Amino acid sequence: MIKASNLNTADASETYRVDAGDYFIHVIPAGATFRFVDLEGNQAADTLFYNAHNPEEHYSATDTIREQGNVYLTAGSKLRSNENNVMLEIVADTCGRHDTLGGACATESNTVRYDLEKRCMHACRDSWMLAIAEHPEFGLDKRDIAHNINFFMNVPVTEAGGLTFEDGISAPGKYVEMTAAMDLIVLISNCPQLNNPCNGYNPTPIEVVIWDAN
């Protein structure tokens, strides 16, 4: 569902640029609203969410899909945890659909999907592992790397139930905006993938904009 935001970026408290291949890890307090902007279009932002006070509680695709009765995420979607609590809600979306079925790229899956020689290529799982290794203060461990959301990525489900990685439906400047329902850790890998059309074979930066709670 396309829904524009009423928030003005001039009122934002923080703005970050995340280059393709980089990670972003940050605490977002309950009540704050934050926006991911697909600056150049057709990018994939592979994202995990955690309860900032108990990282064993994390975003759960299965609980979210079951409770909303739809496999796609967009404005109105309540993103739930593995304890079935609402962690955050998508409050605006000018892209219209985001994937939570396709998973994140890893060197292992690159090898299976594309070619043995792709194993050395940078993948989202590497960026997440680097983030948690460089930031022990967040208390995240390898086993906390769970199922993720691919913001701006297009993975349509066929009539027969098949999954296909398709050319993106996003475009330069499209954004998705969320309000935190609990204190969150957000962990993004801005996808460096070069082997499938999810980012037009051209990884590009995203922007993270944060507004304080009212």
- In angstroms, the Cα distances linking 52 to 13, 21, 164, 183 are 20, 24, 33, 5
Nearest approach, Cβ of residue 168 and Zn ion (Å): 13
**Residue 129 identity (one-letter amino acid):** M
- In angstroms, the Cα distances linking 204 to 107, 131, 151, 171, 213 are 20, 19, 13, 12, 29
Number of residues near Zn ion (by CB under 5 A): 5
Q: Which stretch binds Zn ion (CB under 5 A): 38-46, 72-80, 134-142, 204-212?
A: 38-46
- In angstroms, the Cα distances linking 195 to 32, 76, 88 are 35, 32, 31
Among 193, 196, 203, 206, binds Zn ion (CB under 5 A): 193
Other Cβ atoms less than 10 A from the Cβ of 139: the count is: 15
**Residue 34 identity (one-letter amino acid):** F
Other Cβ atoms less than 10 A from the Cβ of 189: the count is: 32
With CA atoms as reference, report the closest residue to 204 among 185, 186, 191, 187: 191
Nearest approach, Cβ of residue 132 and Zn ion (Å): 16
Q: Which is nearer to Zn ion, 145 or 210 (CB)?
A: 145
Show the tokens assigned to 107: 């060197």
Among 32, 37, 52, 124, binds Zn ion (CB under 5 A): 124
Among 73, 180, 184, 191, binds Zn ion (CB under 5 A): 191
Q: Which stretch binds Zn ion (CB under 5 A): 47-55, 68-76, 104-112, 152-160?
A: 104-112
Nearest approach, Cβ of residue 126 and Zn ion (Å): 9
Chain-centre distance for alpha carbon 111: 23
Nearest approach, Cβ of residue 107 and Zn ion (Å): 11
By the rule CB under 5 A, 198 interacts with Zn ion: no
Among 20, 88, 105, 187, binds Zn ion (CB under 5 A): 105
Nearest approach, Cβ of residue 105 and Zn ion (Å): 3
Nearest approach, Cβ of residue 47 and Zn ion (Å): 11
Q: Which stretch binds Zn ion (CB under 5 A): 27-35, 84-92, 105-113, 139-147?
A: 105-113
In the three-class reduction of DSSP (H, G, I as helix; E, B as strand; rest coil), residue 126 is classed as helix
Q: Return residues touching Zn ion (CB under 5 A).
A: 46, 105, 124, 191, 193
